[in-house]
Structure 1
Amino acid sequence: MTYRKSSLSVFRLSSILTMLVLLIAGCSGKNAETGKNANAYKVGLVFDVGGRGDKSFNDSAYSGLEQAKEKLGIQFDYIEPSGEGADREAALRQMAADPDVKLVIGVGLLFTDDITAIAREFPDKKFACIDYNPQPGAEIPSNLSGITFEEKKGSFLAGAIAALESKTGKIGFIGGMDSNIIRKFESGYIAGAKHVKPEIEVITGFIGMTGSAFNDPAKGKELALGQYSRGADIIYQAAGASGLGVIEAARETKKLVICTDMDQAYLAPGYVLTSMTKAVDKAVFTTVDDAMKGQFQGGKQRVFGLDGRYTDYVWNSGNDKLIDQSEHERIESIRKDILDGKIEVQE
């Protein structure tokens, strides 16, 4: 487009500024996945650090949206994070301000404070937060659903599996951001391992103290190589995209890794002992479905746990040669004892 500076009107200046704003919004990572019905229910999702392609937490959330699009006919927009995700609040606000978006989802514990504040600011919108982690006793807005999983119980099972399968008597744990939720993974894993083998040694480490710790595969690999060199033959990683480095270290050293959130056996066949899965996809789908039906569960934390296998471990044709039938039966017995209250695992 050509123009003469002297002939710019206020209208044309406004148009140019609008185009720039749209361009900036596009560069921030907002994308749209549109269903067939232009008037369909619309969901806005903001990813955690690592974004799409982490082959873990974020990808599982995106899968839930795709399922909702296919089965429920929704539309959805999503925004990728930048850097350490410092623009979380702005991204959530952008979604909330969209008049077509009915439900806004934040993926990850780091959204907790921002999404709580924005839910109060936009009382006519519905919000959901994966791994919602408020301060004890904090009031949750009635239009906000705090989605949580039983990470500690799932990690207890992962620890039991590791202890049963370890040949060296040493196992490892690598967490992403050192936070109270990732500490649940660590403590549950240690408790489960010692339940099966009290003398087991567990080496632990964390990648960092900020959100970027979930997106540093190089650091994950470095820590894993260190733990394997100290005698650990199995490492449980709860580190988001950083866990990809732990998986690579397992492959290189021909040791074993336990993965998190999704079944990641396809990333290193023969080296992934199991995965402690959190059905983030099912939780996202269920939350969208409930909202569309007028059954949205706001004002509280909603737990997707061992019951119903929303929190679970993987045992299938991909790892049944690593975990035999008798060991699987032992883990299932432990799982049942947790559900029946015979084994107490406090979240």
Structure 2
Amino acid sequence: MRQRIVAALLVAALSGCAATPAAVSSDALTGLGAEVIHVGVAYDTAGRGDKSFNDAAGAGLDRARKELLVEATEVTAAAENDEGRAASLRQLAAGGSNPVIAVGFLYAAAIGTVAQEFPDTLFAIIDDASVTADNVVSLLFAEEQGSFLVGAAAALASRTGRVGFVGGVDVPLIRKFEAGYTAGARSVDGDIRVDVRYLSRPPDFSGFGAPDKGRAAAARLLADGADVVYAAAGGSGAGAFEAVAAVPGAWAIGVDSDQYLSAPEAVRPRVLTSMLKRVDNGVFQEIQAYIKGDRKGGVKRYDLKVDGVGYATSNPAVRKYRPQLEQARYRILSGAVRVPSS
């Protein structure tokens, strides 16, 4: 097979035609022609287009399609419950996808069920390590470290000495964002006030997809004196951004992806920075590892050391703070600062 692929490429070169991915079989992916990799990705109900968590996962899949020549099927949970999520995972596994990647901790119960039904399929879940099985791998991120950096940026940019945090749902994962953000802000100004609002609490997970609630919460924080608001709330963050944009001099801080790049034109100038949670890297690297033969369960962690988290610099307004932020990043990397996660 390898000789046939090389010969095909030589023929294309000699004929003056460039060999395109379509001209070379996807069998070339492994270099041995042993298999075609078909990845399944299950998004939560917000799906692609949330300009945050799901889109970051989608970006990693898009990169794998382009660079690794994998095939893929993407689905969005049809219902906001364990049954709906299990149905999505089951659909992908039964259709031949392997690996199957679940986007978000809300898939934990569904993964636990469906992984037993398909023992020969590798399942990966982002943001949860509660399921221990030979065919389940957990992809975890040091959200508190990235949030520490944007918390420092918030304190540097604040003129009132008061900043805000909007959490989508009051769960341990989002508390990691809050803890890091608060610690980062206080590393700059020990007297700064950090006001916190959550949009919902379990079993109500609507806080991740309710822009109206995000708008109202951010407006309340701003009315109380905060002039920088960090929204770790999924799709609800769009509403928080709108509230910030309506207040002259106020700043918003995005999450997961560089939301300065995706924000509406009227909002974009007010997005100071974003906490980058490199879910795209996690998804891409997990697919790459699978191709290389790493098909074991376990836990993989993405922190500052492996570019798993960080902060965005697209808005020129944040660049004047980079020396202080880079110093904070180095102190975390060196171990001089241990960022709290709760």
TM-score range with shorter-chain normalisation?
Answer: 0.7 to 0.9
Contact 2:214/2:238 (CA < 8 Å) preserved in 1? yes
1:184-220 deviations in whole A, cap 9, x for unaligned? Answer: 1011111111111110011101111232211101110
| Equivalent of 2:99 in 79, 82, 103 | 103
Aligned residue in 1 for 2:160: 168
Contact 1:165/1:323 (CA < 8 Å) preserved in 2? no
The residue type paired with residue 64 of structure 2 is A
1:61 aligns with 2:60: no
Contact 1:85/1:211 (CA < 8 Å) preserved in 2? no
1:206-252 deviations in whole A, cap 9, x for unaligned? Answer: 11123221110111001111111111000001000111111111112
Q: Which runs of 5+ in 1 are unaligned?
A: 1-34
Contact 1:36/1:73 (CA < 8 Å) preserved in 2? no
Q: State the shift of 1:164 in Å.
A: 1.2
Distance across 2 between alignment mates of 1:331 and 1:219: 31
The residue type paired with residue 334 of structure 1 is A
Q: State the shift of 1:120 in Å.
A: 2.8
Query: Residue 301 of structure 1: SS of its match in structure 2?
Result: strand
Contact 2:166/2:230 (CA < 8 Å) preserved in 1? yes
The residue type paired with residue 301 of structure 2 is V
What are the within-5 Å matches in structure 2 for residues 152-191 of structure 1? 152-191=144-183
Q: State the shift of 1:340 in Å.
A: 1.1
Distance across 1 between alignment mates of 2:190 and 2:73: 48
Percent identity (aligned): 39
1:91 aligns with 2:85: no
Q: Which moved more, 1:175-184 or 1:287-296?
A: 287-296
Query: Residue 287 of structure 2: SS of its match in structure 1?
Result: helix
Distance across 2 between alignment mates of 1:121 and 1:346: 38
Q: Which runs of 5+ in 2 are unaligned?
A: 1-23, 28-34
Aligned residue in 1 for 2:142: 150
Q: State the TM-score, normalizing by the size of structure 1.
A: 0.83
1:274 aligns with 2:270: no
Distance across 2 between alignment mates of 1:332 and 1:309: 14
Aligned residue in 1 for 2:121: 125
Relative to 1, partners in 2 of residues 1:323 and 1:231: Cα closer, same or farther, differing over 3 Å?
farther
Contact 1:110/1:211 (CA < 8 Å) preserved in 2? no
Distance across 1 between alignment mates of 2:109 and 2:161: 41
Q: State the shift of 1:300 in Å.
A: 1.8
Matched residue count: 303
The residue type paired with residue 300 of structure 2 is R
Q: State the TM-score, normalizing by the size of structure 2.
A: 0.84
Contact 1:109/1:132 (CA < 8 Å) preserved in 2? yes
What are the within-5 Å matches in structure 2 for residues 1-347 of structure 1? 37=26, 40-86=36-82, 87-98=84-95, 100-134=96-130, 140-209=132-201, 210-254=204-248, 255-266=250-261, 267=263, 268-296=267-295, 298-315=296-313, 318-324=314-320, 327-347=321-341
Q: State the shift of 1:36 in Å.
A: 7.3
Relative to 1, partners in 2 of residues 1:344 and 1:322: Cα closer, same or farther, differing over 3 Å?
closer
Distance across 1 between alignment mates of 2:85 and 2:206: 13
Contact 1:46/1:78 (CA < 8 Å) preserved in 2? yes
Query: Residue 113 of structure 1: SS of its match in structure 2?
Result: helix
Relative to 1, partners in 2 of residues 1:133 and 1:216: Cα closer, same or farther, differing over 3 Å?
farther
The residue type paired with residue 204 of structure 1 is V
1:114-169 deviations in whole A, cap 9, x for unaligned? Answer: 213322332110110111242xxxx6112111001100111111111111110001
Q: State the shift of 1:49 in Å.
A: 3.0
